[in-house]
């Protein structure tokens, strides 16, 4: 007797997605016929030259904008995390997290206990009463991550969340993100300009062409976790991807 194996549906699917801004001779095609699928629990990193449409793609998946053509399907709730923490400066770290819980209709008492739990998840226990200006850049990004997790999202969209941080803080937050994702079945789409960061974090790295953005290459990352950004295997795969990216940038420049 043969048992049929049914594959789980993709958490995020883009089918022939294009995005054009403006009309006529001044129109700008940001994305062109992008097709991409992310499996449940998969960590997918998107890289490409500046202006290739990476952030546009995340905005479309988040529902902040609509594609000009094509179809996007997302299974479950979506949370978006930006390069800047975008915390309310007059609220404490805990209160910023509680806002996301309040939007979901969580009661006051449960909001407070849940915010405390999430601060513990991102190793910020004891800092719930601090306001953003009293926290370091890395700590503010941890609060932003906790706020994203408070939304109980199935899909987490991250737009260069560590780009403004120093190398050591970024490396520590890579470890934190690994730990958090390991405990949840989160599907992550992560935009970065840092190829090594993409290989360090991702299950797969997707390379977009220069504008208009198209998927031109995909690189599975078979390197066992935990990974270090300075590991030889990470550096070698990052070098291969960087060479392909340079070819694309040179082609576009010509």
The phi-psi region of residue 9 (left if phi > 0; otherwise alpha if psi is between -120 and 50; otherwise beta) is beta
Asked whether the whole model's pTM tops 0.85, one would answer yes
CB atoms within 10 A of CB 247: 11
The token duo for 145 is 């991550």
117-135 pLDDT, tens digit per residue, is 889 888 898 899 999 999 9
The token duo for 239 is 């070098």
Q: Is 112 helix (H, G, I), strand (E, B) or coil?
A: helix
Sheet containing 69-74: which strands, arranged edge to edge?
A: 28-38, 12-21, 69-74
The predicted structure's pLDDT at residue 10: 87
150-209 pLDDT, tens digit per residue, is 888 899 999 988 887 888 888 888 988 888 888 778 999 999 999 999 999 999 999 998
Q: Kindly state the average pLDDT of the residues 238-248.
A: 92
26-76 pLDDT, tens digit per residue, is 888 899 999 999 999 999 999 988 778 889 999 999 999 999 999 999 988
Angle at which helix 93-103 crosses helix 137-150, to 10 degrees, equals 20
CATH class of the domain whose range is 30-76+154-254: alpha beta
Domain ranges (residues) in the chain: 30-76+154-254, 87-153
Distance CA 254, CA 239 (A): 23
């Amino acid at each position: 007797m043969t048992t049929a194996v049914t594959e789980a549906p993709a958490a995020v699917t883009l089918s022939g997605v294009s995005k054009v801004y403006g009309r006529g001779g001044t129109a700008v095609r940001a994305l062109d016929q992008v097709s991409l699928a992310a499996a449940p629990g998969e960590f997918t990193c998107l890289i490409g030259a500046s202006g290739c449409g990476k952030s546009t793609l995340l905005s479309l998946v988040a529902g902040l904008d609509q594609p000009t053509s094509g179809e996007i399907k997302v299974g479950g709730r979506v949370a978006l995390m930006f390069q800047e923490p975008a915390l309310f400066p007059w609220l404490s770290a805990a209160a910023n997290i509680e806002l996301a819980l309040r939007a979901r209709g969580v009661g006051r008492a449960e909001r407070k206990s849940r915010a405390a739990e999430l601060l513990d998840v991102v190793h910020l226990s004891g800092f719930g009463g601090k306001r953003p200006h009293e926290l370091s850049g890395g700590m503010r990004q941890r609060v932003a991550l906790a706020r994203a997790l408070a939304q109980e999202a199935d899909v987490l969209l991250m737009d260069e969340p560590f780009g403004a941080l120093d190398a050591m803080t970024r490396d520590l937050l890579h470890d934190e993100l690994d730990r958090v994702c390991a405990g949840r079945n989160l599907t992550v789409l992560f935009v970065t300009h840092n190829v090594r960061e993409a290989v360090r974090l991702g299950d797969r790295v997707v390379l977009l062409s220069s504008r208009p953005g198209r998927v031109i290459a995909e690189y599975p990352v078979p390197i066992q976790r935990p990974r270090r950004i300075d590991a030889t295997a990470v550096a070698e795969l990052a070098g291969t991807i960087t060479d392909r990216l340079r070819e694309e940038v040179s082609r576009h420049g010509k």
